[in-house]
Amino acid sequence: MANSTRTASQEPVTKDELPEDAHLLENESNSAVYLEYRTCGDETCSCMSGGEKHGPYKYRAYRDGDTVRREYLGKAEADDDQP
Protein backbone atom coordinates (compact mmCIF):
# COMPACT_ATOMS: atom_id res chain seq x y z
CA MET A 1 0.00 0.00 0.00
CA ALA A 2 1.43 3.41 -1.00
CA ASN A 3 1.98 6.08 1.62
CA SER A 4 -0.24 9.09 0.83
CA THR A 5 1.51 11.46 3.24
CA ARG A 6 3.09 14.41 1.44
CA THR A 7 6.46 15.77 2.49
CA ALA A 8 7.07 19.52 2.76
CA SER A 9 8.85 19.58 -0.62
CA GLN A 10 5.75 18.06 -2.27
CA GLU A 11 3.30 20.61 -0.84
CA PRO A 12 2.14 23.22 -3.36
CA VAL A 13 3.22 26.84 -2.92
CA THR A 14 0.20 28.83 -1.72
CA LYS A 15 -0.81 32.41 -2.59
CA ASP A 16 -0.11 33.37 1.04
CA GLU A 17 3.56 32.42 0.54
CA LEU A 18 4.01 34.74 -2.46
CA PRO A 19 4.79 38.47 -2.27
CA GLU A 20 1.76 40.54 -1.26
CA ASP A 21 1.40 42.21 -4.67
CA ALA A 22 2.09 39.08 -6.75
CA HIS A 23 -0.24 38.35 -9.66
CA LEU A 24 -0.54 34.56 -9.92
CA LEU A 25 -0.34 33.18 -13.48
CA GLU A 26 -0.06 29.42 -12.88
CA ASN A 27 -0.22 27.23 -9.81
CA GLU A 28 1.11 23.78 -10.55
CA SER A 29 1.45 20.88 -8.14
CA ASN A 30 4.99 21.80 -7.10
CA SER A 31 5.45 25.45 -8.12
CA ALA A 32 3.69 28.75 -8.82
CA VAL A 33 4.46 31.25 -11.61
CA TYR A 34 3.64 34.87 -10.87
CA LEU A 35 4.27 38.47 -11.93
CA GLU A 36 5.68 41.09 -9.61
CA TYR A 37 6.55 44.79 -9.83
CA ARG A 38 9.74 45.69 -7.92
CA THR A 39 11.72 48.64 -6.64
CA CYS A 40 15.27 48.92 -7.99
CA GLY A 41 17.12 50.07 -4.88
CA ASP A 42 18.43 53.29 -6.46
CA GLU A 43 17.57 55.98 -3.90
CA THR A 44 17.32 58.59 -6.70
CA CYS A 45 14.66 56.57 -8.59
CA SER A 46 11.01 57.55 -8.12
CA CYS A 47 10.10 53.89 -7.46
CA MET A 48 11.78 54.23 -4.06
CA SER A 49 9.53 57.12 -3.00
CA GLY A 50 6.13 55.75 -3.94
CA GLY A 51 6.39 56.16 -7.71
CA GLU A 52 5.69 53.48 -10.29
CA LYS A 53 7.66 50.28 -9.73
CA HIS A 54 9.63 48.46 -12.43
CA GLY A 55 8.29 45.39 -14.20
CA PRO A 56 6.38 43.26 -14.36
CA TYR A 57 8.92 40.51 -13.85
CA LYS A 58 8.09 36.82 -13.97
CA TYR A 59 9.11 34.44 -11.17
CA ARG A 60 8.59 30.77 -10.33
CA ALA A 61 8.22 29.91 -6.63
CA TYR A 62 8.97 26.34 -5.55
CA ARG A 63 9.72 24.38 -2.40
CA ASP A 64 13.19 23.30 -1.39
CA GLY A 65 12.54 21.27 1.74
CA ASP A 66 10.70 23.59 4.13
CA THR A 67 11.83 26.74 2.29
CA VAL A 68 9.96 28.48 -0.54
CA ARG A 69 12.51 29.66 -3.11
CA ARG A 70 12.00 31.71 -6.21
CA GLU A 71 13.57 31.68 -9.64
CA TYR A 72 13.69 34.74 -11.91
CA LEU A 73 12.18 33.92 -15.31
CA GLY A 74 12.74 37.33 -16.94
CA LYS A 75 10.75 40.39 -17.81
CA ALA A 76 7.12 39.52 -18.57
CA GLU A 77 6.21 39.22 -22.25
CA ALA A 78 3.35 41.12 -23.86
CA ASP A 79 1.28 37.91 -24.04
CA ASP A 80 1.56 37.30 -20.27
CA ASP A 81 -1.56 38.01 -18.25
CA GLN A 82 -0.92 41.53 -16.92
CA PRO A 83 -2.25 42.48 -13.47
- Tell me the residue ranges of DSSP E strands in the chain: 23-27, 31-38, 54-64, 67-75
pLDDT tier for residue 3 given thresholds of 50, 70 and 90: very low
pLDDT, one tens digit per residue, over 35-82 is: 999 999 999 999 999 999 999 999 999 999 889 999 999 998 866 665
Question: Max alpha carbon distance in the chain (Å)?
Answer: 61
pTM of the predicted protein model: 0.75
The one-letter amino acid code at 69 reads R
HSE of 3, CA atoms in CB hemisphere, 13 A: 3
- In what side-by-side order are the strands of the sheet with 31-38? 23-27, 31-38, 54-64, 67-75
